[in-house]
């Protein structure tokens, strides 16, 4: 089933469940080579969410700013490749949401533990501001905040469960969004964490 959030944004409930073994194996390989780390914002704050990346580009933040980099600054190595199963999932989810021929070149992997939140923001570091972002939720549940085009616009709360996929593109691509603090709990497969993958077209 699916929930429409806006003209070009929807939740595909459970869409990633068919891919979960490949997702978990991929995350193991990726984080073995590019470990989760807490980035520092340009303002000097340590981010609550731990992050890593795979694909041609990875999102990084430091005192100099936010940007995409071809190499992991922590190891000097290229980011791990996007596994084929990740690309197939992202492409199939985008197609189901009405975006044909989606070919992401980056995947940001976020890890949340109990109490971790992600404050309201826009994703504006990608050159392509229209191509969809495909988001895959794994592990502990989350409440996603879906806003408008100005920070102060009303937000709606969207519950996201293990296996849910959200697709946002076109006119809804630049909406403000965030994640409320994760409630303590244990997921049967992922344990005491939530992992979110966001596929992006950067260049």
Residues that bind Fe ion (CB under 5 A): 123
Q: Residue numbers of the site for ligand MD3 (CB under 6 A)?
A: 108, 110, 118, 123, 133, 135, 166, 168, 173, 175, 177, 179, 196, 198
Residue 99's binding partner out of Fe ion, ligand MD3, none, with CB under 5 to 8 Å set by partner kind: none
Cα–Cα distance for residue pair 174/5, rounded to 1 Å: 14
3-state SS of 112-175 is: ECCCCCEEEECCCCCCCCCCCEEEEEEECCEEEEECCCCCCCCCEEEEECCCCEEEECHHHCCC
Cα–Cα distance for residue pair 46/201, rounded to 1 Å: 26
Kindly state the smallest distance separating residue 58's Cβ from ligand MD3, in Å: 12
Minimum CB distance to ligand MD3 smaller for 76 or for 113: 113
Minimum CB distance to Fe ion smaller for 29 or for 122: 122
Minimum CB distance to Fe ion smaller for 123 or for 164: 123
Residue 53's binding partner out of ligand MD3, Fe ion, none, with CB under 5 to 8 Å set by partner kind: none
Minimum CB distance to ligand MD3 smaller for 92 or for 199: 199
- Which residue number has the CB closest to Fe ion? 123
């Amino acid at each position: 089933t699916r929930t429409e959030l806006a003209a070009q944004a929807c939740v595909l409930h459970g869409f990633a469940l068919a891919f979960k073994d490949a997702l978990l194996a991929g995350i193991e390989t990726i984080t073995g080579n590019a470990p989760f780390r807490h980035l520092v914002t340009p303002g000097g704050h340590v981010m609550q969410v731990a992050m890593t990346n795979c694909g041609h580009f990875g999102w990084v933040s430091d005192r100099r700013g936010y940007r995409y980099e071809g190499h992991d600054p922590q190891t000097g190595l290229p980011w791990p490749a996007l596994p084929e199963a990740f690309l197939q999932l992202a492409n199939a989810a985008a197609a189901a949401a009405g975006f044909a021929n989606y070919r992401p070149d980056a995947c940001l992997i976020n890890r949340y533990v109990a109490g971790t939140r992600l404050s309201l923001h826009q994703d504006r570091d990608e050159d392509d501001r229209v191509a969809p972002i495909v988001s895959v939720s794994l592990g502990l549940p989350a409440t996603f905040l879906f806003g408008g085009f100005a920070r102060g616009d009303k937000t709606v709360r969207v519950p996201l469960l293990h296996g849910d996929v959200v697709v946002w593109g076109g006119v809804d691509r630049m909406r403000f969004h965030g994640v409320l603090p994760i409630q303590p709990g244990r997921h049967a497969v992922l344990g005491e964490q939530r992992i979110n993958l966001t596929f992006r077209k950067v260049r």
